[in-house]
Amino acid sequence: MATLEIRDLHVSVADGADGTKEILRGVDLTVKAGETHAIMGPNGSGKSTLAYAVAGHPKYEVTSGSVTLDGEDVLGMSVDERARAGLFLAMQYPVEVPGVSVSNFLRSAVTAVRGEAPKLREFSKEMKKAMDDLSIDPAFAQRSLNEGFSGGEKKRHEILQLEMLQPKIAVLDETDSGLDVDALKVVSEGVNRFSAGGDTGVLLITHYTRILRYVKPDFVHVFAAGRVVAQGGPELAEELENEGYEKYVKAGVA
């Protein structure tokens, strides 16, 4: 059973002439296969920093703590080693890669993760099935990666990657950002398909409860001032929708 364990994680970022600024101040979190965790919190609370630190973004410096996947030290791995080990990050703002088609990008990614290139016919069939499930036009496969994509297209492509790569643990950073209702439902269905087998775990980062109407979390964690200040079940998300984050922000600062 896949298990991502984050223990007492402290992360800083460069802060201009003033040196560094600590963003995460001791995060503890465990995500197991078969579980969906939602992280909620106000802007600037450290949610995205957690995602990028786990994925290995060079901007974020881990100053103390540990991250392990099935007992293996994630922090000692390069970015591509983390991906091959089974970690996946759906970014809030995916970058454009002109000249690289969606199809070529996906085949390269699948080859890197699986350790061998899939047969072209089998890969094409697999990709077409995943695109159909996400209501993506087949012509999309020949477009340059994220170039000129709408917000909804970028998010669908992130979930297309998720379905093709089948990681152990998926970290989804504000996957619901900028989606209309129809696109939100399609993306949510993709997340639910991914997690349905029980062999994978999901860490879903969001500001709002609207995606949680379609992707039901087992656990909800409230982030404030760089740490988890409250945890609970789906009912906690409803409380946040009704009451906001103010009391949790005060608890985080305290």
CA atoms of 27 and 180, how far apart (whole Å): 32
In a domain, 152, yes or no: no
In a domain, 42, yes or no: yes
In a domain, 131, yes or no: no
DSSP string covering 97-149: EEEEEHHHHHHHHHHHHHSSPPPHHHHHHHHHHHHHHTT--GGGGGSEETTT-
Please count the structural domains in the chain. Answer: 1
* Structure confidence by residue, pLDDT tens digits, 32-43: 999 999 999 988
CA atoms of 185 and 169, how far apart (whole Å): 21
In a domain, 147, yes or no: no
In a domain, 184, yes or no: yes
* Structure confidence by residue, pLDDT tens digits, 45-89: 999 999 999 999 999 999 999 999 999 999 999 999 999 999 999
Cα angle 228, 198, 159 (rounded to 5 degrees) comes to: 75
Mean pLDDT for the chain overall: 92
Residue range(s) defining the domain that contains residue 57:
3-99+166-253
| Closest to 183 (Cα-Cα) out of 163, 215, 210, 156 | 156
In a domain, 206, yes or no: yes
In a domain, 40, yes or no: yes
Domain CATH number, residue 71: 3.40.50.300
* Structure confidence by residue, pLDDT tens digits, 194-245: 999 889 999 999 988 889 999 999 999 999 999 999 999 999 999 998 888 8
In a domain, 116, yes or no: no
